[in-house]
Amino acid sequence: TAKRNGRNHCQRFRPALDVQDSPQLGLVSELRHALATGGQLELHYQPQYRLDDDSMAGLEALLRWRHPRDGMISPGDFIPLAERHGLMAALGNYVIDQALAQLAHWRGQGMPEVPVWINISAMQLFQGDLEAALATGLARHGLPAGRLGLELTESVLLDERAGDVAPRLEALRDRGHPVAIDDFGTGYSSLGYLKHLPLDKLKLDRAFVHALPDDQADAAIVVAVLAMAKGLGLQVVAEGVETPAQADFLRAAGCELVQGFLYARPLTVEALEAHWQARSSAGPHAGSARGVPE
């Protein structure tokens, strides 16, 4: 890693050369430190629900950085930084291990045995050994691959640096990992990949959900995506469901799964366990979980 640390050393000895970037480099070394010590990085979990019976179908693990000075930093801010500075493989491996450790911890505690879905960045496909990290983690925690779903965006599939994604994805799915396309519909890619890639789910981007049910164009797109997915044998998860009217439209249109603030925000482990208990004692129609302020 001597080479990767090189830019940091430049910052220390010649700060004036990179004024624009130096606050970021400070954050990069703090992120490196957070990764090494582990304590500041945590996964929050957002439940996905079935629209037909309101049961919980899965959890998405979303990374958070509890920065000692700056407070909670969202992944939209530090993941691009990790990608630019060679930390994404390590960060990705941390997420894999944390999610599996959490699943192992929940085992036998009466939690629904639903899969946890993690987000995979393009960098993980070409920087690190994703396959090995997954296999090692599953073995260490004694879990089957079916419990850990992988979410990839269309842009990951298009990223040339990630090499030929299809055979690697196929190998991961053959081992039992469910695979989803995240932010579906925003990647400007040809639909042809849907024919060739081994997939289980499409996650309809919240951009198409936001203006439902009134926006005619979005309504038409959603109906068309649902019909296409059905024909291809893929499940659809609608992302960013915030209102009952959106949920009603999606249910009527035949969408199977939903995720969004209407049901639950991404929750700390503690808040999720409380949400779980409230639902199991009050029945599945219990109210939504507000989660932690972000």
Binding site for Mg ion (CB under 5 A): 119, 151, 182-183, 239
| Residue 98 binding target from Mg ion, ligand C2E, none, CB below 5 to 8 Å by type | none
Smaller CB distance to ligand C2E: residue 125 or 226?
Answer: 125
* Minimal CB distance residue for ligand C2E: 260
Q: DSSP per residue over 8-48, as a string?
A: HHHHHH-GGGGTTTHHHHHHHHHHHHHHHH-TTEEEEEEEE
User: Does 272 contact ligand C2E by CB under 6 A?
Assistant: no
Task: Determine the residue type at 161.
Answer: R
User: Does 76 contact ligand C2E by CB under 6 A?
Assistant: yes
Smaller CB distance to ligand C2E: residue 127 or 259?
Answer: 259
Among 25, 63, 89, 143, binds ligand C2E (CB under 6 A): 63
Query: Phi then psi for 120, rounded to 5 degrees?
Result: -115, 125
Cβ(93)–Cβ(38) under 8 Å?
A: no
Query: Phi then psi for 171, rounded to 5 degrees?
Result: -65, -40
Cβ(155)–Cβ(64) under 8 Å?
A: no
Among 95, 165, 222, 234, binds ligand C2E (CB under 6 A): 95
User: Does 47 contact ligand C2E by CB under 6 A?
Assistant: no
Query: Phi then psi for 67, rounded to 5 degrees?
Result: -80, 130
| Residue 25 binding target from Mg ion, ligand C2E, none, CB below 5 to 8 Å by type | none
Buried b / exposed e over 121-145, threshold 16 CB at 10 Å, is bbbbbbbbebeebbeebbeebebeb
Binding mask 184-213 for ligand C2E (x = CB under 6 A): ----------------------x-------
Smaller CB distance to Mg ion: residue 154 or 183?
Answer: 183
Take residue 71 and report the two structure tokens written for it.
């407070």
The window from 48-56, 215-223, 237-245, 275-283 that contacts ligand C2E (CB under 6 A) reads 237-245
Name every residue whose Cβ is closer than 8 Å to that of residue 190 and which is 6 or more positions away in sequence: none
User: Does 266 contact ligand C2E by CB under 6 A?
Assistant: yes
User: Does 24 contact ligand C2E by CB under 6 A?
Assistant: no
Task: Determine the residue type at 190.
Answer: S
Smaller CB distance to ligand C2E: residue 11 or 255?
Answer: 255
Among 62, 133, 145, 181, binds ligand C2E (CB under 6 A): 62
For the chain, helix (H) and strand (E) counts, in that order, are: 13, 9
Q: What are the residues binding ligand C2E (CB under 6 A)?
A: 46, 62-63, 74-76, 79, 95, 118-119, 121, 151, 182-183, 206, 240-242, 259-261, 266
